Structure 1
Amino acid sequence: MSTSTTTGRVALVTGGSGGIGQAVVERLIADGYSVAVHYAGNKAKAETLVEKIAASGGSAIAIGGDVADENAMQAAFDQTETAFGGIDVVVNTAGIMLLSPIATLSLDDLDRMHRTNIRGSFVVSQLAANRVRTGGAIINFSTSITRTELPSYGAYAASKAAVEALTLILARELRGKDITVNAVAPGPTATPLFLDGKDEATIERLTKMAPLERLGQPEDIAETVAFLAGPARWVNGQTIFTNGGMA
């Protein structure tokens, strides 16, 4: 259901055709936002989501591009502003996770994660810092693995720790602009990104890590994003660990 505080606001969601990204898009649409659904490779999925939104009376467009390519992302911001008149919220859910012990990690995989997770977050944050309207919000994505230090997640956790640092410093740099900048750090969440390559025993073990003894759902994470995007005007320069109580 839309609210008077969010109706008319515009959001750009990178990775908007993915598991958490799609849930974020649908949650913001329910709150009355117009949403640009960004995709990197799955154009058909993004366009299907946009068609579904239009059929239910919502307003959305699909836009493509590599988040680490500043020209492609400038075009994505331009397209969003052309379609909706401006941008109030940028949610950067785009990211990749490649797991390996540090001792044996392929440096090519390290570079791939660095490009998408760190450079991509920097490019999107830099553009958002210059384009988001007064009263807006920038929301990046970290991970609860930065706290739990699970084996094989070293390079991924390092990339997300960099995103946290970028996010918290940007919040201070935007002093006086009335734009909040925060990071969401999900715990284990039932998405293809998380489930891919894990056997049932591993999934069961990770499920038990939270006191609530279940995996997070994309909708759980989207609730936190909606809070930061709209009503949470006094939450700024923070990393919000959305993980069901996992340490």
Structure 2
Amino acid sequence: MKKIIGIAALSFLTFNAFAGFETPEDQRTKRLNERAVETKNYIDSMVGRTAWYNSNECLTEKIYPDTSNMSYGSAIYSTNGEYKPIIFESGEMLQDTYTDYVTFKIKIGETDEGYIKTDTTMPLKISDNDYIGCFKANKPIKKESTISKSIDDILFGWSYSCKKDKFNGSKSCYLHRANSDLMVGIYNGQHSVYVGRDHYPRSQSVIKIDSNTPIYGYEGSSSTPQKAIEQMKRGKIAYTRYKEWPYDYNQDGEVDLTGFTEKYNEMMEEYKKL
């Protein structure tokens, strides 16, 4: 009889733990406990991880020297515009009615330590996505150098275009450096190296790579394009000469070959896909 009563009592307690009447305080406690588990899992997912931090890029997520000074006007850590590696060493949780606050202790570089505060409504995240926080999983490239390189590529770099004729199936790609008199192409498997524009009728054109022997052509089209391309891959400067209509005198130019090989190889890969 005692055994039966004991089992019945245990069954009642078990049932009561998952269902039954709840006071507002019971419901509040239940929500806090459930949220505490989620917050602990979040802390565990962050502790031990490394991120890259730049104080200039983080206007809201500041690193403070200690937990007693984490408000407006307190000292904050500055990386002087550089990205520094930080390690999340530990985290402490403080529960409030509607959110949990988490304070992480972090190691900055080799010697410095600090603290950063976040909450579960908008928790701190480590991501390379530009729209998600400012703690990066990988060290970003400086924006200035990236922008500068992009501008150089647009204004002065090599670029190519490819197409396949929808009627006869012919394939072609052309590679050109902005503001130059030099173009390299491939049409149905045949390479070409072209110098200048609007050529004087029956005039001679020429290209010379570094100190190599000049390679001649007719009205801009090189007679040995494969030879010229191979020299361009290894060269630094291409010197060009041609005669532009209506003036029967030389037009000389110089073309920087920096980046030519990479773009030429890209173009050839694209050509194969046509």
Q: TM-score, normalised by structure 2?
A: 0.19
**Greater C-alpha radius of gyration:** 2
Q: Which structure dedicates a bigger proportion of its chain to helix?
A: 1
Q: Considering fraction of residues, name the structure with more strand.
A: 2
Which has the higher relative contact order, 1 or 2, with Cα contacts under 8 A spaced 6 or more apart? 1
